[in-house]
Structure 1
Amino acid sequence: MHYISPQRPWLILLMSLALLWFIGQTADAQNRSWYSVHRSFSEGVEIASSQFQANAGIVSRNDERTTRAKILSIARSQIGVREKTGNNDGFDVEKYLATTGLGAGYAWCAAYVNWVYQQAGICKPTSLQAWSPSWFPPERTYWSVGENEYQPPMPGDVFGIFFSSKGRIAHVGIIEDWNGKYANTIEGNTNDAGSREGDGVYRKIRLKKQISKVSNWIKI
């Protein structure tokens, strides 16, 4: 028969309590470490996302209305600009073209749109800003005549007109208003007749059926 010291159960109890305390401290430290890493990761993702949106020039939904108003204000400020000699030249025309890397002599309707958007803080992420069709990639085009007409175009968005002689969209401008059968627009490189080879920046009233596509470069 073995003799058990009456002090030994207390010793075992104390050792057990000490072990439980140690395990609790270790788990708490691990939780704090995980939370710190998780928080740092989350903040890093948020910062990276914000930087990406800023670099792309895309505004948040909260700023969309303000940005649209700014685009229209800038576009309207240029109404009345005219070419110097009628050959795609002049101070203002050349400042539009400069935003696309081009100089005097090139068609500039898309360059005008690009300049307006840059002034509003939106930089189109492509090197083909002067090429009218480049303003209508599938992911940005939300209205097409005879196809996707369920969502009315918004002020400040970009419209394109298809020319059968070119086999492509060959003229672009900015939607000012969308009412009934007509669209009020602001366009560069046009004229009173609505040509794609005009001499200045004009406010136009166009039949909606003239417009082929509308794209949104403002909203996320």
Structure 2
Amino acid sequence: MTSDPETLAAYGTQAQNYAAMTDSLKGDKHLAIFIAALPKGARVLDLGCGPGRAAGQMADHGLKVDALDAVPEMVAMAAVHPGVAARQGTFHDIAGTDLYDGIWANFSLLHAPRADMPGHLAALKTALKPGGLFHIGVKTGTGAARDKLGRHYTYYTQGELRGLLSAAGLAPHDSWTGRDRGLAGQMDDWVVIHAHG
């Protein structure tokens, strides 16, 4: 997760509301595709896990889940899910080599400054086992801005994101786009991309 104080404070304040919002997303097709692509017992990282909805579902399907978030309120909620090892940390705490069969970075890395994204992706590629599956979701657009809750976002075009993944040594393939209403109440365009290490 980001280390931006205003973004972290917003998530801390909105933790219960965010948990309620993500609870209604139990039919997430991208998560189902991610889980189905991994072998039973695979080790995965949920990066920016929030209240742990996705991490809990992964654990329910027999995956070994490490969950990381920089917001203590989110870590506490994620840790309640059976089989989820949740800890507090930021994107800068990603370390290790060939640790994970899959990494789920679902609308978390968009909080990092653009200049930091190549380094974060490189660290995640190193932590991913060869051939492992990487999932990333971001809001699409250009530039960077704060929403009305104070959260900092960096926006990417799909082409830009694919280029960054390739530059980090990942091989992007399937992608999906859409438009949804987020926690701040505004409609946002997004892209999800799956890539292999």
Report the TM-score when normalising by structure 1: 0.24
Task: Kindly indicate which of the two structures has a greater share of residues assigned to strand.
Answer: 2
Report the TM-score when normalising by structure 2: 0.26
Task: Kindly indicate which of the two structures has a greater share of residues assigned to helix.
Answer: 1
